[in-house]
């Protein structure tokens, strides 16, 4: 297996984190931003699980560029919200109750939050805080799924990592991305937004999935 891998993502923050985790082992990532700067390749994330979406992304990239590819999908599941936003984490702010209940039928309900020009991460966090207002149950967990496929789109390996914790009632810290300023990993008084990058890398859902992924890559290279 080559140490140059296609990663089927355009998310610059996610790519930076993946590169930081893979670089010490000698692996380099080529992103869709670099391979398809005009954005011609559109990938519809229609999966009902993180694993399904990771495979959809990897297969689309592999078939488009005729090379093995890695797909990644991740998000936050909130226990008192019935598991939402889950696979809809990136677009939570703009989804209706009906859309969310299509997958998370125990979702209690909420209103879309749309404001032109504002960062989607911020809108997602604003909606999440509003829907948890007054709730004593703040349990949540991050999930990351990784999938490796060959150039024809055949699945070679899939894995996932999780980290459980709780959500605070306010933003804390300017690091990380997504819901990191609200998420306290288990046994930590600090959010992922407050923790130094190296501390987050040591415990994150993405690093846990990547450790299993790297173990697989090391095995096939023997």
User: Which residues are designated catalytic?
Assistant: 73
Give the separation between CA 18 and CA 36, rounded to whole angstroms: 19
What residues have CB less than 8 Å from 216, skipping those under 6 apart?
148, 157, 159
18 φ, ψ to 5°? -65, -40
- Specify the 3-state DSSP secondary structure of 148: strand
Give the separation between CA 159 and CA 216, rounded to whole angstroms: 10
Contact 136, 100 (CB under 8 A): no
Which residue, among 209, 207, 210, 178, has the nearest Cα to 191 in the 3D structure? Answer: 178
Residue with tokens 């290279």: 221
Residue with tokens 């990351």: 144
Give the separation between CA 185 and CA 162, rounded to whole angstroms: 10
Residue 95's H or E segment, with its range, is: none
């Amino acid at each position: 297996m080559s140490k140059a891998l296609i990663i089927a993502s355009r998310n610059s923050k996610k790519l930076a984190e993946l590169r930081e985790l893979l670089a010490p082992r000698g692996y380099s990532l080529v992103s869709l931003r670099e391979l398809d700067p005009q954005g011609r390749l559109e990938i519809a994330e229609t999966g009902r699980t993180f694993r399904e979406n990771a495979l959809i992304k990897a297969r689309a990239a592999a078939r488009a560029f005729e090379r093995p590819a890695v797909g990644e999908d991740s998000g936050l599941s909130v226990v008192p919200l019935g598991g939402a936003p889950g696979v809809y984490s990136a677009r939570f702010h703009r989804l209706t109750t009906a859309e969310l209940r299509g997958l998370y039928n125990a979702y209690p309900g909420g209103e879309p939050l749309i404001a032109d020009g504002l960062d989607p991460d911020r809108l997602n966090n604003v909606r999440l805080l509003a829907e948890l207002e007054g709730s004593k149950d703040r349990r949540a967990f991050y999930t990351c799924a990784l999938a490796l496929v060959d150039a024809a789109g055949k699945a070679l390996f899939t894995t996932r990592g999780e980290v459980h914790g709780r959500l605070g009632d306010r933003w804390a810290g300017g690091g990380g991305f997504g819901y990191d300023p609200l998420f306290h990993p288990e046994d930590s008084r600090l959010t992922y937004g407050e923790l130094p990058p190296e501390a987050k890398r040591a415990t994150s859902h993405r690093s846990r999935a990547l450790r299993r992924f790297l173990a697989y890559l090391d095995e096939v290279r023997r």
